[in-house]
Amino acid sequence: MSGMGFDRHSAAIIGADVNARRTSALAVAEETIARLAAYDAIQPQVWISRFSEEAIRSAARAVDARVAAGEALPLAGVPFAVKDNIDVAGLDTTAACPAFAYSPSHSATVVEKLLAAGAVCVGKTNLDQFATGLNGTRSPYGAPRNAYNLAYVSGGSSSGSSVAVAAGLVAFALGTDTAGSGRVPAAFQHLIGFKPSKGRWSSKGLVPACRTLDCITVFTDDTADARLLDEVIAGFDAADPYSKRLADRPLPRKRIGVPRRSQRVFFGDGESEFLYARALEKLGRLAEIVEIDLAPLQEAALLLYGGPWVAERAAAMAGMLADNPDAIDPTVREVVAPGLAIGAVELFNGIYRLAELKRHADLLWEGIDMLAFPTAGTTYRVAELLVAPVALNSALGFYTNFVNLLDMAAIAVPAGVRDNGTGFGITLIGPADTDRALLDAADAYLAAADLPSPPPLDLEGKMQTVKLAVVGAHLKDMPLHWQLTSREAKFVGSFKTAPSYRLYAMADSVPPKPALVHSSDGGPIAVEVYELGVAEFGSFVVEVPAPLAIGTVTLSDGSSVKGFVAEPRALTGAEDITDLGGWRAYIARQG
């Protein structure tokens, strides 16, 4: 990012600088216009529509005039983007469905408040059509991709908004959240995703997904900007029937609820499992970690797409489903259309069951102060989502779908950088109206976590790589090391495995090779880790002879990499050399 011209903005700093005349809103606008033009060459699909360059300049000049007249504007000159299911006067609202498009006469209440505070709207961002999806691939305008690895999904449905902030095109962007759409994209792109309590921010001017659950949200680079934007936006709106009076509840933060170990699901993603465990270790220094039963929350979550709340999505799209169903993305139509057949009896039974589950959730707060869940248990490549759009999307919502149904507030925060550059995050969740307290909790966690900065943006498409642990004949200066160097493998470092492996010298192996076997009474074994391109890794695996194989090896810090493992027959006649701690010690003893 830094040095690329796409370093992230700070809304607070821009506003302060423009108010103090250290810069001008017009200067900020010119820089924004340049960034937009440069990034259009990489991901034009981030946007559905934008104001003209001259319109952006004109809006910035108007802000400068207001500042010169003595107005103190908290967001003076701050560029922002709006998800295209939220009205902005002067730009069509499409919800990523061209046949649905209309021209609003007024901006949404939240947008009006931002403009009144001096912010400059750049344009409307892409999304999963009708905000139905958590991945970002369900749009006729293209699939915005993760700004840090273009092979991976951005997360959705607020896909374009998240990329616009991650790529430094705007200081903040509005999204929406019904099932996790304002949190999952934040996690994948190292952002803050602030989802207020239902009714805290007006939803007037929002195309509904599930009207009783929808929340307008914001993506920012840090919690300070999220706090500033909440100060500008939050408030009762009599024109919104779901708006409510502001209330700020305290959050003691002494006991943090997490899923029981047996209920934690990472969909085979060892890296997510490791990063979540590390986040809990940091949180454990701040509060008591309390394991809770996830099942009631998961049952509530299933009501959203597997129960009568699908009818609420169908109600929002009833006109399109009846008059122009072919204009709807096929996957979106597959998800929503069954809602038309849900009757009142099923709906009321769902309402009754949700009330029971909400009572359980409300009582949960008597034993804990907040929840800390993975935002998503894994991530996927765009190509994977296109092949299995429903099943993989459901996996992304495993930890998010229940939050709005049970009337909770949430903030998604970064919790680590994956080897592929994408982000892993956790979400702090509290009862309704604990929004400001959750921001304070996020600050405390981020200070304790001391996370690395996000990696450089992916501006060209990264080569996909795999980390491989070698334990014997492929070590440096050993007979088969050439199989790595010929594939331009990069040495990552020397490590030890977790203390749960045994090492054997196989009998009659030429050249001599060890067998690494998982064992509860094992010990730490020395390994070297190398990084290879995916294609090179595949060609390497093809050459691995039986009884050896490539599996997953856990290192001493709890992280996992690919590595050599062995079939049971490898132990026939083999010598147990675990006590030597590694293959080099064995070779030295032989010599």
Q: Return d(Cα 262, Cα 546) in angstroms, integer.
A: 34
C-alpha gyration radius of the chain = 26
Question: Is 128 in a helix, a strand, or coil?
Answer: coil
- My answer on whether omega of the bond before 511 falls inside 30° of 0, hence cis, is yes
Show the tokens assigned to 548. Answer: 């050896």
DSSP state of 405: H
Q: Return d(Cα 55, Cα 133) in angstroms, integer.
A: 32
Q: Which of 24, 107, 154, 157 is catalytic?
A: 157
Q: Is there a catalytic annotation at residue 157? A: yes
DSSP state of 123: E
Q: Return d(Cα 360, Cα 367) in angstroms, integer.
A: 12
Burial 26-40 (b: 16+ CB within 10 A, else e): bebbeebbebbeebe
The residue type at 93: T
Nearest alpha carbon to residue 563 among 463, 475, 464, 487: 475
DSSP state of 152: B
**Which segments within 385-489 are labelled E, that is strand?**
408-417, 423-431, 465-470
Q: Is there a catalytic annotation at residue 83? A: yes
**Helical pair 109-116 and 223-233, crossing angle rounded to 10 deg:** 110
3-state per-residue secondary structure call for 493-541:
EEEEECCCEEEEECCCCCCCCEEEEECCCCECCEEEEEEEEHHHHHHHH
Q: Which of 10, 24, 83, 467 is catalytic?
A: 83
Q: Return d(Cα 492, Cα 474) in angstroms, integer.
A: 14
How many residues are listed for the chain in this entry? 591
Q: Return d(Cα 10, Cα 165) in angstroms, integer.
A: 10
CB neighbours of 105 closer than 8 A, spacing ≥ 6? Answer: 89
Show the tokens assigned to 571. Answer: 């132990």
The residue type at 27: A
**Beta bridge pairs of residue 290:** 257
Q: Which of 24, 154, 162, 181 is catalytic?
A: 181
DSSP state of 462: P
- My answer on whether omega of the bond before 456 falls inside 30° of 0, hence cis, is no
Burial 449-479 (b: 16+ CB within 10 A, else e): bebeebbebbbeebebbbbbbbbbbbbeebe
DSSP state of 32: H
Q: Is there a catalytic annotation at residue 181? A: yes
The residue type at 88: V
Nearest alpha carbon to residue 96 among 125, 61, 116: 125
Cα torsion 516, 517, 523, 524: sign? positive
Question: Is 70 in a helix, a strand, or coil?
Answer: coil
Active site residues: 83, 157, 181
